[in-house]
Structure 1
Amino acid sequence: MTTALEVARSSGDVGPLLKLVAQYAGASQTQLAVALETTQGKISKYINSLVRVEKLEMYQRIAEGIGMPDHARMSLGLAPRSVSSHPLPSTPRPATQSEAVQSDRPNTPEAGGTAAIATTAMQGLTAEITNLVLTGLTGGAEPGQDADRDAGRSFALLRDWCRDQDRLPPGVLHFSPGRLSLEQLRQLEITADAFRAWDHQFGGGLRRKAVIGQLSEVSDLLDEPQPSAITRRLLGITARLAITAAQMSDDTGHRSEAFRYLGLALKAAKEAGNHSLGARVANSMARKHLQSGVDGQGVALQLVQQTRTSLGQRLGPDTTALLITTEAWIHAHHGADTAVHRTLEEAAQLVSQQGSTAGLFGVAELAGVAGACFEVLAKSNQAKAVHYLAESERRINEALNLRDGLYVRSRALDFVGLANVHLAQGEVEQACQDARTAIDLAAGLRSPRVTKRLHAFAVGALELHPDEDGVWELAEYVRAKLPVVSM
Structure 2
Amino acid sequence: MLLDPLRIPNTVWSDPAVGDALTRRDVGALFRRIGQLTGASQTRIGAAVGLEQGYVSRVMAGRKVTSIEVLERIADGCRMPDQARMALGLAPQDRPCHLDMASPPKQRESDLPVNRSWRDDVRAAAQLWEGDVNRRDVIRQMAFSSAGYTLTALRWFTAPAAPPVVHAGTRTVGQPDIETIREMTTTYRRLDNQYGGGHARATVARYLHQEVTPLLDNGRYETSTGRKLLSAVAELTQLAGWQAYDVADHGIAQLYLTRALDLARAAGDASLGAEILAAMSHQATYLGHGATGIDLARAAGQTAQRAGLTVLTAEASVMEAHGHAMVRDERACTAALHQAEKTLDRADRSSAPQWLGYFDEAYLSAKFGHCFRALGKPAQAERFAARSLRMDERYIRGKAFNLALLATAQAQQGELERACVVGAEALTLTSRLQSARAARYVRELQAELVPYRRRPTVQQFIRRVDAVLGTRR
The TM-score with structure 2 as length reference comes to 0.68
Q: Which residue of 2 aligns with 1:137?
A: 133
- 1:278-320 Cα shifts (integer Å, max 9, x gaps): 1111122222222222xx2222222222443466433411111
Q: Which residue of 2 aligns with 1:122?
A: 118
1:273 counterpart = 2:261: no
Q: Which residue of 2 aligns with 1:372?
A: 370
For 1:165 and 1:211, the matched residues in 2 are separated by 31
For 2:445 and 2:304, the matched residues in 1 are separated by 39
Could you say if the C-alpha distance between residues 193 and 254 of structure 1 is closer, same or farther in structure 2, counting changes exceeding 3 Å? same
For 2:400 and 2:362, the matched residues in 1 are separated by 14
Q: Which moved more, 1:313-322 or 1:299-308?
A: 299-308
For 1:468 and 1:297, the matched residues in 2 are separated by 36
1:183 deviation in Å? 2.8
Query: Root-mean-square deviation (CA), in Å?
Result: 2.6
Q: Which residue of 2 aligns with 1:427?
A: 415
Contact 2:271 2:304 in 1 (8 A): no
For 1:355 and 1:285, the matched residues in 2 are separated by 25
For 2:348 and 2:237, the matched residues in 1 are separated by 30
For 2:200 and 2:165, the matched residues in 1 are separated by 35
1:232 counterpart = 2:232: no
For 1:337 and 1:370, the matched residues in 2 are separated by 12
State the one-letter code of the partner of 1:277.
Answer: L
Count of paired positions = 351
Query: What stretches of structure 2 of length at least 5 have no aligned partner?
Result: 1-113
Contact 1:192 1:240 in 2 (8 A): yes
Could you say if the C-alpha distance between residues 330 and 137 of structure 1 is closer, same or farther in structure 2, counting changes exceeding 3 Å? same
1:388-427 to structure 2, matched below 5 A, reads 389-401=378-390, 403-427=391-415
Q: Which residue of 1 aligns with 2:470?
A: 483
State the one-letter code of the partner of 1:263.
Answer: T
For 2:287 and 2:165, the matched residues in 1 are separated by 41
1:138-157 to structure 2, matched below 5 A, reads 138-139=134-135, 146=143, 150-157=145-152
For 1:180 and 1:145, the matched residues in 2 are separated by 34
Q: Which residue of 1 aligns with 2:88?
A: none
State the one-letter code of the partner of 2:270.
Answer: H
Contact 1:329 1:372 in 2 (8 A): yes
Q: Which residue of 1 aligns with 2:215?
A: 221
For 1:265 and 1:364, the matched residues in 2 are separated by 27
- 1:427-484 Cα shifts (integer Å, max 9, x gaps): 1011001111111111111112221331232233022x12211111111212222336
Contact 1:165 1:275 in 2 (8 A): no
Q: Which residue of 1 aligns with 2:331?
A: 338
Could you say if the C-alpha distance between residues 358 and 371 of structure 1 is closer, same or farther in structure 2, counting changes exceeding 3 Å? farther
For 1:485 and 1:157, the matched residues in 2 are separated by 36
Contact 1:144 1:255 in 2 (8 A): no
Contact 2:382 2:409 in 1 (8 A): yes
- 1:51-83 Cα shifts (integer Å, max 9, x gaps): xxxxxxxxxxxxxxxxxxxxxxxxxxxxxxxxx
3-state SS of the aligned residue for 1:225?
A: strand
State the one-letter code of the partner of 2:279.
Answer: S
For 1:165 and 1:308, the matched residues in 2 are separated by 20
1:341 deviation in Å? 2.2
Contact 1:165 1:273 in 2 (8 A): no
For 2:301 and 2:349, the matched residues in 1 are separated by 25
For 1:428 and 1:365, the matched residues in 2 are separated by 25
Could you say if the C-alpha distance between residues 266 and 165 of structure 1 is closer, same or farther in structure 2, counting changes exceeding 3 Å? farther
1:193 deviation in Å? 1.4
1:206 deviation in Å? 4.8
Structure 1 runs of 4+ aligned residues shifted over 6 Å read: 142-145, 174-177
1:395 deviation in Å? 1.5
Contact 2:122 2:263 in 1 (8 A): no
Q: Which residue of 1 aligns with 2:454?
A: 467
- 1:388-441 Cα shifts (integer Å, max 9, x gaps): x3332222122111x212211111111111011110121101100111111111
1:358 deviation in Å? 8.0
1:277 deviation in Å? 1.1
Q: Which residue of 2 aligns with 1:351?
A: 344
Could you say if the C-alpha distance between residues 185 and 211 of structure 1 is closer, same or farther in structure 2, counting changes exceeding 3 Å? same
Query: Which of residues 407, 417, 432 is equivalent to 1:444?
Result: 432
Could you say if the C-alpha distance between residues 173 and 251 of structure 1 is closer, same or farther in structure 2, counting changes exceeding 3 Å? closer
Could you say if the C-alpha distance between residues 304 and 420 of structure 1 is closer, same or farther in structure 2, counting changes exceeding 3 Å? same
For 2:399 and 2:199, the matched residues in 1 are separated by 22
Could you say if the C-alpha distance between residues 306 and 449 of structure 1 is closer, same or farther in structure 2, counting changes exceeding 3 Å? closer
For 1:351 and 1:265, the matched residues in 2 are separated by 26
Q: Which residue of 2 aligns with 1:57?
A: none
For 2:258 and 2:398, the matched residues in 1 are separated by 24
For 2:243 and 2:439, the matched residues in 1 are separated by 14
3-state SS of the aligned residue for 2:367?
A: helix
Contact 1:332 1:373 in 2 (8 A): yes
1:99-114 to structure 2, matched below 5 A, reads none
1:140 deviation in Å? 5.8
For 1:208 and 1:350, the matched residues in 2 are separated by 33
For 2:348 and 2:147, the matched residues in 1 are separated by 38
Contact 2:166 2:226 in 1 (8 A): no
For 2:346 and 2:394, the matched residues in 1 are separated by 24
The TM-score with structure 1 as length reference comes to 0.67
Max Rg structure: 1
Query: What stretches of structure 1 of length at least 5 have no aligned partner?
Result: 1-116, 380-384
For 1:157 and 1:229, the matched residues in 2 are separated by 25
3-state SS of the aligned residue for 2:197?
A: coil
For 2:225 and 2:154, the matched residues in 1 are separated by 27
Could you say if the C-alpha distance between residues 165 and 189 of structure 1 is closer, same or farther in structure 2, counting changes exceeding 3 Å? farther
